[in-house]
Structure formats: C-alpha cells, structure tokens
Amino acid sequence: MVPYATCIDGTANEAGSVYAVNADATAPFDTVQGEKYTVIQSTPVLNGPFAYNGDTLSSEDVKAIQDLFTSDEVANDSLIFYSKDSGEQGLYEKKSDAKCFLTVDDAWYDPIRNMQS
C-alpha cells in the first residue's frame, strides 16, 4: 500500500497490524486520508524470478550469471537498485544496503503454492 498508508501498530504485512492512510494519499485513497484499518489476512507477494533455460546453458554459464546477479556490482548499480533521494530511476528502490538479488530454490515460492482460497 506504499505510498498510500503507513503501518502504525504491529508488524507490516502481517495479520493484526494497523495502518493509517497517509494525509497526502492520492486517489483512490484521497477520500479516506487519516482513516485506519486492520489487516485481517496477508498474502505474500513475491517477485517473479529471473529464470534461465537449463537445457541450453552450461553449468558454468549458469554459475557466471548467478554470480553476476548476486554481486555487489549489481547490488550497487543505481540503474537497478536506486535510492529514493538519488534522483535516479532504477528498477527497484533500495531502502537498505541489504537490498540485492538472491539465489533461491523452487521452495521459495511455496507460500504462493500453499495459499488457501
């Protein structure tokens, strides 16, 4: 809900947390600025993967790609990870030095698979 609301009680994105709609919230939240709401259920939203075709790439090429994507060089590239006050326009806002790409296995997406309707 960023930039429309701020977590004011509890842990962000968890059931039971309380949010307040920001005083400067734009449409469609401009009519409820200052109102509060409680999260009753939270659904994880995971970034989609950067994937490769293992049938066409060698294990050396896969490792080279993974090493590059998870490198400090990429994590500090302002065209990929930008800070809000930098004036740059990258792909992802870097809110901390820990923001970077990670190598994960298929189980990372289990929270989505395990969602109940």
CA distance 9 to 65: 41
Sorted by where each begins, the domain ranges of the chain are: 5-38, 59-113
Cis bond before residue 44 (omega within 30° of 0): no
Annotate 42-66 with DSSP letters as a single string.
----PPPPP---TTTS-HHHHHHHH
Kindly give the confidence (pLDDT) of every residue in the chain, 117 residues in length, as a single tens digit, with 9 standing for 90 and above: 777 999 999 998 889 999 999 999 999 999 999 999 999 988 777 777 888 898 999 999 999 999 999 999 999 898 888 887 777 778 888 877 788 899 988 888 887 787 765
CA-to-CA dists, residue 76 to 22, 54, 66, angstroms = 30, 28, 16
| Cβ burial 62-87 (10 Å sphere, 16+ → b, else e) | eeeeeeebeeeeebeeeebbbeeeee
